[in-house]
Amino acid sequence: MKIANIKNKSHGFINRLMGLFLLLFLTMNPRAVWADNSNDVEIIRRKKFQIELYGGYTTFNPSDLNLFISYDNGIQTFSYDTYLDYLQINNQIQSWTKTQDKERQMIKKAFPFGARLKYHLNQTIAVSLGFTYLTSRNGSDIELQYTRNELSNEQYVEELVYSPYLLSAKAYVPSLGIHIMKEIKNTVTVEGYLTGGPMFIECHYMSDWSYEWWMQGTDYTWLTFQSSGTLEEKGSGTGIALDVGGRLVYPLFKSLGIFLEAGYAYQVAKNISGGGREVKDDSTESWEGRWGIKRETISAPWGDLVLDLPANYWPNNSNAEKLRDFELDLSGLQLRLGLSFRF
């Protein structure tokens, strides 16, 4: 619940900021502040530097990172739903039911913001040095309850709580760029840009979990087994970011403009490693490792299952197979709104 509030607050602030920019953008009459005085235009044109601040919204699908969700959902279904079906079909239990509060959520959007320093080589070309920060985080509290009705009319209740269940990614992108601009009627500037640079990323998976098994009858309820723990894996690494797009700039005041830009950002990191830890009751294990995609083949009496998952844990005692390196792909369309100040 705490995480959800933080996320909503952050989301709300950015929305309000973008709303404000949009309102200014739509209501300002650029002629009133710029074009009426051609001398001012010239003065501004002689100013070579421009600083820009922006925030925005992007959608993407970091599919390797989101494998955590499909893996955890797959394991849960196999270990509980499929297994209980198997018991029921084989007349080992009467029936079973399941309740679940909330689902695991994949990461699919982020809010990039950053700053850029531009140097205008002439009226149509500028180069820039910029920095963008992008963060995406999805946390939730998940509660599950599986109840099986035993042949004895007892109930076995298994409760699983994941609080929080968290997946996040961050990217820091310093970039160099080139911008080609064209003024339209001395007011609006149309600009195309290409920026690129290294990308420094962080990704994080954490699951704080607890498990309880209760035996229930008509006049008793026994907590028969309980366990809790944390599984956490962190990664950091580098990649490449390229951003291509276009934008419109409207002057607000003599040196101040507002811009709206849209583009496609290619942002992929492949060389990722980091630490992890698993806490189980009073046992703790921690490790360091390179992230990769692991294939687990699960064979139980009630069936087989093959699942891929991201991991930086490569123990000797695992029969899991490493398929390939992990890739954090934060590429996607980005929409940004910002202010520019020329000096």
Partner 1 sequence: MKRIYSVILYLLLSVMFISNPLHCKETEQSLQNEAGFMTIEPITFYFHYGDHFSRLLLKSSEARIWYSFHTADKNSLEKPLFVFFNGGPGSATCSGLMSMYTSEFTLDNKIETGGGDIFIPNPYSWTQLGNLLYIDAREAGFSYNLMSQDKNIQDEGLRFREFNAQNFNPFFDAADFIRVLLRFLASHPELRKNPVVIVGESYGGIRTICMHHLLLNYTEYGNGAQMYQDEALVDEIQAHFDDVFPDYQGQIVPPEVITEQFGHQILIQPAISYGYQTQITNNLILQPGGLIDQLEQQTGIPYDPNIHEDPLYYVRDVADRDYYIYTKPAGWLNGFFSNAARLLHYRQNLTLMTGMDVTAIPQLYASARTQAYRVIRTDYPYNILPALASLTPLIKLHFIEPAIQEANEANQEPGDMDTVFGILQPWDRYYMSSNGNANWAFHVYNVAIVRGYEVTIYESLLGRMFLQNVAHTHTFSTNAALDLVVYSAAIPPSLARHDDIVESAQHIKHPMNGEDRPGYILLNYHHSAFPNIQNLDTRTIRFPLYSSSCHAVSLTQPEELLNDVSAWLSEKGINLAGKGEAKK
- Binding stretches for partner 1 (CB under 8 A): 75, 79, 83, 150-154, 156, 158, 213, 215, 217, 220, 222-226, 231, 278, 280-283, 296-302, 307, 313, 315-320
Which amino acid, one-letter code, is at 332?
G
Q: Which is nearer to partner 1, 83 or 326 (CB)?
A: 83
Q: Which is nearer to partner 1, 25 or 302 (CB)?
A: 302
Kindly state the smallest distance separating residue 144's Cβ from partner 1, in Å.
Answer: 13
Kindly state the smallest distance separating residue 195's Cβ from partner 1, in Å.
Answer: 39
Q: Do residues 270 and 331 lie in contact, with contact meaning Cβ atoms separated by under 8 Å?
A: no
Q: Which is nearer to partner 1, 129 or 293 (CB)?
A: 293
Kindly state the smallest distance separating residue 95's Cβ from partner 1, in Å.
Answer: 14
CA distance 97 to 116: 56
Q: Which is nearer to partner 1, 79 or 271 (CB)?
A: 79
| CB proximity list for 66: less than 8 A, separation 6 or greater | 106, 107, 167
Which amino acid, one-letter code, is at 199?
M
Kindly state the smallest distance separating residue 149's Cβ from partner 1, in Å.
Answer: 11
Omega before residue 164 within 30° of 0, cis: yes
Kindly state the smallest distance separating residue 106's Cβ from partner 1, in Å.
Answer: 19
Please state the φ and ψ torsions of residue 319, each to the nearest 5 degrees: -95, 15
Q: Which is nearer to partner 1, 156 or 341 (CB)?
A: 156
Kindly state the smallest distance separating residue 304's Cβ from partner 1, in Å.
Answer: 9
Q: Which is nearer to partner 1, 99 or 318 (CB)?
A: 318
